[in-house]
Amino acid sequence: MRIATWNVNSVNARLPTVLAWLEAAQPDVACLQEIKCVDEKFPREPFESLGYNVETHGQKSYNGVAILSKHPLSDVRRGLPGADESRYEADAEQSRYIEAVIEAPRPVRVGCIYLPNGNPLGTGKFAYKLAWFERLQAHARDLLALEEPFTLCGDYNVIPTPDDAKNPAAWTGDALFQPESRAAFQALRHLGLSDAGDLGGQPPGTFTFWDYQAGAWQRDHGIRIDFHLLSPQAADRFRAVETHRDARDMDKPSDHVPVVVELED
């Protein structure tokens, strides 16, 4: 089973590009972030014509996540648990998490994540990022207790190590590279989750995001912020991981590229 994660940076604005990549890469599952539309405006028909079942958790103009699957989807959850108890108004407004079980012959649960950016530092946005991370950690513990294969994949908006940036010094004042952000990501991994990039031996410089500004793509000033974190049961089925760098050079590209993990059927 091939499971992709991709921050598409507006599904309607980049629909031909997204469809072209899906037709070429043929993932069984695609987890999309920053779809930037409400559920009713999501272009379901073109994806369904490619054989995908579609579940969305959209939001007008911002954020939004979706799962596409060539297998049936069950146990769909929209929103990260804990929103009802959250003191942050953003939790009631922002669509950042969707989860479902992929009903393949050997089922896999997928959680599709668009973690808060957290900028600028010194504001409530950074505190919200860390609080969201805490809720994600709590949910990951609950999922691990089920002892089933799953991936928590998506745009984590974290640069975990200096090796995950071409120019780490350029990010020292950014929420993505703060010690607190990096520690929260490592705490999530230390629950028992495996980074597919590490399992696949991807080398330093395997970036997933290049800004549109200042010629970042042409100069390869990238960062790695898109991940598959696998449960032990999913890691046991791990076969390969691919970062589709060429997608950044497509017509009207996203600033992110897809990351595809392959698990044994």
- Residues contributing to the annotated binding site for Mg(2+): 7, 34, 155, 157, 255-256
73: Cα within 13 Å, side-chain hemisphere: 23
Q: What tokens does 176 get?
A: 């993505």
114 catalytic, yes or no?
A: yes
- From the list 28, 155, 174, 195, the catalytic residue is 155
Q: Binding-site residues, please?
A: 7, 34, 155, 157, 255-256
Q: Which of 52, 97, 114, 156 is catalytic?
A: 114
Known catalytic residue: 256? yes
- Select from 108, 116, 118, 104 the least CA-distant residue to 152: 108
Distant-in-sequence, close-in-space partners of 153: CB < 8 Å, separation ≥ 6: 3, 5, 31, 110, 111, 112, 113, 226, 227, 228, 229, 259, 261
Residue in the block written with tokens 């950014």: 174
Active site residue 221: no
User: CB within 8 A of 177, min separation 6: which ones?
Assistant: 158, 159, 165, 168, 171
Which residues are tagged catalytic?
114, 155, 256
